[in-house]
Amino acid sequence: MLRADVARRLGDEETATSTLTKAAATQLTTEERDSVHDDLVRLAELRGQGAISSRCEAVNQPDR
């Protein structure tokens, strides 16, 4: 997340996008999602999604 945030601030969209894509694709358990909730919200913000509730839903996929 930090790498993507810094890359975006420095204008490196390629690194920001690839890093955010990898972060969003990471499968987390329920406990892990709870533990990193704020980071998931920030991930959604960096990816440019809508309201916070929909952001959390987009990155907080249930275990499969």
For residues 50 and 18, give the distance between their C-alpha atoms in angstroms, rounded to a whole number.
20
Tens-digit pLDDT profile for residues 34-55: 999 999 998 888 888 433 333 3
Predicted TM-score (pTM) of this structure: 0.61
pLDDT band at 1 (very low <50, low <70, confident <90, very high): confident
Better-predicted residue by pLDDT, 45 or 60 = 45
Q: Mean pLDDT over all residues of the chain? A: 79
Crossing angle of the two packed helices 2-9 and 13-25, in degrees rounded to 10? 160
Task: Report the percentage of the chain scoring pLDDT > 90.
Answer: 42
